[in-house]
């Protein structure tokens, strides 16, 4: 097991400038930008998605420039392109979830053929690196379950190069200066409202009661139940925020916890109840936000096959 084999397929492609336009999928393939001739997602559940092709014509995608709401693959009629059944969280769809757990960047290619206007350039443009920030299930316009992902263009600081000190002299007597590429795996954001909720609960996790000590107090994270910003557009109000330890925040965001209207918390993997969310009279929790989270974050994947033990390969 060598530690750079799998990850060498991720990130920028040496010698290929961001912004380059390719005439067709074969050229994209040969350049190493998107190593799938048909599928829109290239990658594996084990290591994550290396690249995707965003085709402007797909009804469920939303392209906001530096933020893309991308819809997973599968369940479509090959003839009409219409969604005819639910999408499963397998193959490329699973790969994009793994990208969220690893933080590895995803190359984005935009199809320039979406609008079918003769005056627009045709082909495919390689638009650089994005990170998967969120995923959830939704009812597509067809009514069938689809998987959706928010991809955000990488900022300079999100894939930083950390200078390393000189390595020890090699046997040949040369010293080398190596640089370490670090990627952002997880960003925890907060707001003034989030600070308020954490203080109401004295930085104690509402799921497990843990309070992580620090030398000057305690550390907790605020989880927005219905996410801020596109496409969830949840409000930044105390009723939409929970005070959680980092572990339960991570599980909640991955949809592994479901919270019902009685504030009972369930582990969706096992179905086990984990007890009732700690409450505080100064902090009422909005049931509509819990319902949104159940529908979009902890529903879909329970439908899907249980996580398999081995890797699968996106085709």
Residue 73 buriedness (CB in 10 A; 0-12 / 13-18 / 19+): buried
CB of 145 to a copy of itself, least distance (A): 14
Mark 117-154 as b/e (b = at least 16 C-beta within 10 Å): eeeeeebbbbbebbbbbbbbbbebebebbbbbbbbbbb
Least spacing, CB of residue 240 vs a copy of itself, in Å: 11
For residues 72 and 59, the answer to whether their CB atoms sit within 8 Å is no
> With CB under 8 A as the contact rule, which of the stretches 73-81, 106-114, 117-125, 184-192 interacts with a copy of itself?
184-192
Closer to a copy of itself at the Cβ: 256 or 259? Answer: 256
> Which stretch, 18-26, 77-85, 107-115, 240-248, contacts a copy of itself (CB under 8 A)?
240-248
Among residues 16, 31, 112, 193, the one that binds a copy of itself under rule CB under 8 A = 193
Residues with Cβ within 8 Å of residue 55, at least 6 apart in sequence: 40, 61, 111, 113, 114
Q: Among residues 19, 216, 272, 315, which is the contact residue for a copy of itself, using CB under 8 A?
A: 216
**Chain residues 55-114 in contact with a copy of itself, contact rule CB under 8 A:** 89, 94-95, 97-98, 100-104
| Shortest Å, Cβ 241 to a copy of itself | 10
Q: Is 30 in the site for a copy of itself (CB under 8 A)?
A: no
Name which position in 23, 37, 84, 188 contacts a copy of itself (CB under 8 A).
Answer: 188
Q: List phi, psi (to 5°) of 56.
A: -50, -20
Give the count of residues interacting with a copy of itself (CB under 8 A).
77
Task: Tell me whether residue 11 or residue 114 sits nearer to a copy of itself (CB atom).
Answer: 11
DSSP H/E element including 223: strand 221-224
Q: Among 218, 40, 186, 37, which Cα is nearest to 103's?
A: 186
Number of neighbouring beta carbons within 10 Å of residue 188: 12
With CB under 8 A as the contact rule, the residue among 40, 149, 238, 292 that binds a copy of itself is 238
Q: Is 46 an interacting residue with respect to a copy of itself (CB under 8 A)?
A: yes
CA–CA separation, 262 and 276 (whole Å): 8
Does 189 engage in binding with a copy of itself (CB under 8 A)?
yes
Binder to a copy of itself among 82, 122, 176, 182 (CB under 8 A)?
Answer: 182
DSSP-derived secondary structure letter, 83? B
CB of 300 to a copy of itself, least distance (A): 9
The least distance separating a copy of itself from the CB of residue 154, rounded to whole angstroms, comes to 9
Q: How far apart are CA 256 and CA 298, in angstroms?
A: 6
Q: What CA–CA distances, in Å, run from 313 to 30, 76, 95, 182?
A: 20, 19, 9, 26
**301 near a copy of itself, rule: CB under 8 A:** yes
Is residue 5 within 8 A of residue 45, CB to CB? The reply is no
Euclidean distance between CA atoms 215 and 21, whole angstroms? 53
Beta bridge partners of 111: 55, 124
CA neighbor of 94 nearest in space, from 271, 301, 232 = 301
Is 52 an interacting residue with respect to a copy of itself (CB under 8 A)?
Answer: no
Give 28 or 285: the residue with its C-beta nearer to a copy of itself: 285
Asked if 123 interacts with a copy of itself (CB under 8 A), we say: no
| Residue among 46 and 122 whose Cβ is closer to a copy of itself | 46
Q: Which residues, numbered 248-287, are part of the site for a copy of itself (CB under 8 A)?
A: 249-251, 254-256, 269, 282
Q: CA–CA separation, 45 vs 297, rounded Å?
A: 19
Per CB under 8 A, 219 contacts a copy of itself: yes
- Which 132-171 residues touch a copy of itself, going by CB under 8 A? 155-158, 160, 162-165, 167
């Amino acid at each position: 097991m060598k530690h750079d084999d799998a990850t060498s397929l991720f990130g920028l492609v040496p010698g290929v400038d961001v912004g380059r336009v390719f005439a067709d999928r074969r050229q994209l393939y040969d350049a190493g930008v998107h190593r799938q001739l048909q599928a829109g997602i290239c990658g594996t559940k084990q290591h994550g998605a290396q690249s995707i092709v965003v085709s402007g014509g797909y009804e469920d995608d939303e392209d906001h420039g530096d933020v893309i709401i991308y819809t997973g693959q599968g369940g479509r009629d090959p003839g009409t392109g219409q969604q005819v059944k639910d999408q499963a969280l397998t193959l490329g769809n699973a790969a994009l979830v793994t990208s969220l757990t690893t933080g590895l960047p995803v190359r984005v290619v935009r199809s320039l053929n979406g609008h079918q206007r003769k005056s627009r350039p045709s082909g495919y443009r390689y638009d650089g690196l994005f990170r998967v920030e969120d995923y959830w299930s939704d009812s597509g316009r067809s009514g069938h379950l689809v998987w959706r992902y928010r991809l955000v263009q990488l900022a300079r600081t999100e894939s930083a190069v950390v200078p390393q000190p000189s390595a020890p002299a090699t046997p040949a007597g040369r010293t080398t200066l190596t640089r370490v590429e670090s990627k952002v795996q997880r960003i925890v954001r907060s707001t003034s409202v989030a600070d308020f909720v954490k203080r109401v609960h004295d930085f104690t996790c509402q799921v497990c009661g843990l309070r992580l000590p620090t030398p000057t107090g305690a550390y907790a994270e605020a989880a927005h139940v219905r996410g801020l910003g596109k496409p969830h557009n949840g409000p930044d109000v105390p009723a939409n925020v929970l005070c959680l330890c980092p572990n339960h925040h991570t599980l909640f965001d991955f949809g592994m916890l479901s919270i019902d209207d009685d504030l009972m918390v369930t582990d969706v993997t096992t179905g086990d109840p984990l007890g009732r969310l700690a409450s505080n009279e100064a902090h009422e929790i909005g049931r509509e936000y819990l319902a949104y989270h159940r529908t979009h974050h902890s529903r879909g994947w329970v439908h899907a096959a249980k996580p398999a033990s081995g890797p699968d390969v996106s085709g």
